[in-house]
Amino acid sequence: MGKLALYTSLKADLLTVTGVKHVALWNNQLERENVENPFQYPAVFIEFGQQEYKDLGKGASVQQYSLPVILHICFENYKDTDEDVLTLVDAVWQKVHKNQYGEFGELLRRSEKMDSDHPNVQDYIQEYTTLGRDVLTNTLVPVTATLDLTTDFKSANQI
């Protein structure tokens, strides 16, 4: 299960949270509202942070990594009460914390902060981590070899 499958499953879960009207991949939509496709608030945007990979096993056909998953829970300032905002932020945490999506480990909340540096929009940022694995699809071409075992073998003492 790659990041696409994680994203799809997480998006489906977030869309079941009462009050969430839009879920999408983060593309700094709050700074680019005039060029983005329109969306409704409250919205949750999913961002994948920087991953560091560690090779597992011989030949590095499997890599393990810690994946930061950042959720931007966004509200319009003039439409939502403080209580509504805090209730939805808590509902998102309740929905996804400790969930396991496919082959990824549990999604664990690590931090939360409020970003109010946007006109008319509040952005609550929840950061989670999960452990993932990528398995390299075997792209080697099989080779057929024939051994000739009819030849006499001489040991080093016979030479």
Q: Which residues have a Cβ under 8 Å from the Cβ of 114 and sit 6 or more positions away?
A: 122, 123, 124, 125
For the stretch 69-92, pLDDT in tens is: 999 999 987 777 889 889 999 999
Question: How much is the pLDDT for 14?
Answer: 97
Question: How much is the pLDDT for 131?
Answer: 94
For the stretch 121-158, pLDDT in tens is: 889 999 999 998 887 665 555 556 665 666 665 666 66
Asked if 127 and 70 count as a contact pair (C-beta separation under 8 A), the reply is yes
Question: How much is the pLDDT for 72?
Answer: 96
Residue type, 86: L
From 25, 31, 29, select the one nearest 8 (Cα to Cα). 25
> What separation in angstroms does the CA of 45 have from each of 69, 119, 125, 156?
10, 18, 10, 70
What is d(CA 111, CA 107) in angstroms, rounded to the nearest whole number? 12
Question: How much is the pLDDT for 67?
Answer: 94
In DSSP terms, which residues pair with 111 in a beta bridge? 127
Question: How much is the pLDDT for 152?
Answer: 65
What is d(CA 94, CA 120) in angstroms, rounded to the nearest whole number? 26
Q: Where do the domains of the chain lie?
A: 3-158
User: Token pair for residue 85?
Assistant: 């905002």
User: For residue 87, is it left (φ>0), alpha (ψ between -120 and 50) or beta?
Assistant: alpha
Q: What is the CATH number of domain 3-158?
A: 3.30.2000.10
Question: How much is the pLDDT for 119?
Answer: 76
